Amino acid sequence: MDNINIIVAKLINKYCTNDPFEIANEFGINTIMCPLGNIKGHYLIIANEKVFFINSDLSQIDKTIVCAAILGHTILYSDLTTFCLNLDFNKQIRQFIIELLDNIIL
1 pLDDT higher than 90:
no
Instruction: State the average pLDDT for the chain.
Output: 88
DSSP 8-state code for residue 103: T
Q: Work out the pLDDT band at 83, boundaries 50, 70, 90.
A: low
Q: Does a structural domain hold residue 72?
A: yes
8 pLDDT higher than 90:
yes
- Which DSSP helix (H) or strand (E) runs through 55? strand 49-55
Q: Work out the pLDDT band at 91, boundaries 50, 70, 90.
A: confident
How far is the C-alpha of 92 from the C-alpha of 106, rounded, in Å?
23
Looking at the structure of the chain, the number of domains it has is 1
In this prediction the pTM is 0.87
User: What's the average model confidence in pLDDT over 91-98?
Assistant: 89
Q: Does a structural domain hold residue 106?
A: no
How far is the C-alpha of 40 from the C-alpha of 57, rounded, in Å?
9
Q: Does a structural domain hold residue 105?
A: no
